[in-house]
Amino acid sequence: MTATVSGGAKGRVPVEVVSTSTRVRILDPGPDQEKVIDLPGDAIHEKSWISLQWGNYPTTWNMLPFGRSFINTALVTVSVTIGQVLTCSLAAFAFARLRFPGRDKLFFGYLATMMIPGAVTLIPVYILFIKIPELLNFVFHTSWFSQDLYFMGKYYVGRLVGGNSYFALIVPGLFSAYGTFMLRQFFMTLPRALEDAARVDGCGNLRIYWHVTLPLSKVAIATLATFTFMGTWKAFMWPLLILNTEELVPLQVLLPRFQGQYGPEYNLLMAGSVIVLIPLLIVFLLGQRYFIRGIQLGGVKG
């Protein structure tokens, strides 16, 4: 039997009846969890297992720096999404439309990087980003690249490059062999007659890319942007490895901190998970029709 106890410092505390109506075990996470106490029988009220506690959301938001972490995650995710769409579309346009020596071999070599597990490159990439400030300081004879920066003199924004920087969070995600492959395959299905007509009108490669190829590829671009946004928003291992300051951590690294000293606070952890999930649901609903159309177009032949 599960019940609640009225009164006390914590208000209505979830408890479990042990043997009699006056001996109860506290279930609420905290220093008194699993403690058996004696209470008057009139202090015990039966409680349903389904009980919405809306107060967990403001408690979760205020207990940890959710506001700053939310800004960090949004900034990194939007930057990576825009950057990856730009780099992948440019590379895909070159591989699909331009003719140059070694194009196919270069593409297959680029595509082969998809077979390398991310765990294999994690430590080398970490060492590379950690050493970048030292190299730049040596080249330019300064220590500026190793200094901590502050916005308006009070908001810590990390270093310019290297560990504890937005640079380290954004740059590794700007390039994707999968995104290049997907867009290349889509660009190759576009009719070359439109490209030839644009060249007759005096357009160069960049104008053809911007005014002809991209407008005709909204479905593929939206699909890549949706997948990139969702994947970057959920990133955990790389931010955990490259950051050691609380001011720059994203939401996925912040959430496990609800594993408190006296055990996991599941109520706050679940509320925080819902807060983190809301942007993903919004992006999925907005981009759903685009990548469903992409799947439909990819399945039609003839």
pLDDT above 50: residue 167:
yes
Residue 6 has pLDDT above 60, yes or no: no
Answer yes or no: is pLDDT of 18 > 60. no
Band (11; pLDDT cuts 50, 70, 90): very low
pLDDT above 70 for 158: yes
Rounded to whole angstroms, the Cα distance separating 240 from 246 reads: 11
List, for residues 27-58, the tens digit of each pLDDT value. 655 666 666 666 665 655 555 555 677 888 89
The structure's pTM equals 0.80
The residue that leads in pLDDT, 30 or 166, is 166
pLDDT in tens, 195-245: 999 999 899 999 999 999 999 998 889 989 998 999 999 999 999 999 988
Please report the pLDDT score of residue 54 as a whole number. 82
Domain 59-299 has CATH 3.90.1170.50: no
What does the domain layout of the chain look like in residue ranges?
2-51, 59-299
pLDDT above 80 for 101: yes
Which pLDDT value is given to residue 153? 81
For 238-292, the pLDDT digits (tens) are 999 999 888 999 999 998 887 764 467 788 888 889 999 999 999 888 877 776 6
